[in-house]
Amino acid sequence: MKEPEIDYWYPHKWVEEYRRTGTIQRWHDDYPHLFDGSRGTIKPFPNNTTSNLSTYALMYLLRRDEGVESLTYFRLPAKAKSVGGRREALQKHLRTWMGNDLFERLRTEIRAANFTKQGFEGEPDLFCWNPTNGEWFFAEAKGDDKLTETQLRWFAVCRATLPGVSIKVCRARPLPVGQTHAAGLPQTTSAK
């Protein structure tokens, strides 16, 4: 089954800034709590790549445009305690919004399906919640890459365990050079 995708567009200039600095200053200025490490983001390091750009851009765009909070690298099936309690602090957000029972059911089934090698195989990039209405969902951020078989398996286990759960595939990418807004660009891609 092909997953439907939602398109999110960001300024093309972010690509160069991210390659040069490992982050986007605007993100820190507007929503420092998302990018200070407490939501799973890693410390910026300029390495001339766009690794994590689509994930972090999606975190910013969801907050700015929809009021949705998010976190990343929550490693749901990991068994060992994390250094400094970082992962447990992230998972506390999941427990708060999902409820302890749903959290434990999902973690048990993800572990049983052997998604435990590094603790995040197939796991969606983001856990998201809307503090206004209490809705939560998982989001997989994609740039130009495609969903893997492992991700599709994780989604299937999650949906079988939590019927009705929302897992969104979000294609976060730069606007074409010279374009300043997404008017005329696709906003969703239906499943085919």
Return the minimum-mean-pLDDT range out of 45-54, 111-120, 141-150.
111-120
pLDDT value for 191: 43
Task: Collect all residues with Cβ–Cβ distance below 8 Å to 2 and sequence separation of at least 6.
Answer: 191, 192
d(CA 146, CA 168): 14
- Per-residue model confidence as pLDDT tens digits over 96-126: 999 999 999 999 999 999 886 666 789 999 9
**Bigger pLDDT: 142 or 176?**
142
Residue given tokens 């939560």 in the structure block = 136
Enumerate the domain spans of the chain. 5-189
d(CA 59, CA 39): 10
pTM beyond 0.85: yes
As a whole number, mean pLDDT of residues 60-80 equals: 93
* Sign, Cα dihedral of 25, 82, 87, 144: positive
If one counts every other C-beta atom within 10 angstroms of the C-beta of residue 70, the result is 25
pLDDT value for 119: 60
Residue given tokens 């365990």 in the structure block = 161
Query: 7: closest CA among 146, 186, 181?
Result: 186
Q: How many residues does the chain have?
A: 192
**Bigger pLDDT: 105 or 79?**
105
Q: Please list the residues that pair with 174 across neighbouring strands.
A: 10
Residue given tokens 């019927």 in the structure block = 163
Tell me how many degrees the CA angle 68-74-77 measures, rounded to the nearest 5. Answer: 135
DSSP output for 140-154: EEESS----HHHHHH
Task: Collect all residues with Cβ–Cβ distance below 8 Å to 4 and sequence separation of at least 6.
Answer: 169, 188, 189, 190, 191
Query: Over the chain, what is the mean pLDDT?
Result: 90
Residue given tokens 């078989």 in the structure block = 149
Query: If pLDDT is split at 50, 70 and 90, which confidence band does 2 have?
Result: confident
pLDDT value for 179: 82
Query: 157: closest CA among 120, 117, 125, 111?
Result: 111
Q: With 70 as the cut, is the pLDDT of residue 43 above it? A: yes
pLDDT value for 190: 44
Q: Please list the residues that pair with 5 across neighbouring strands.
A: 169, 189
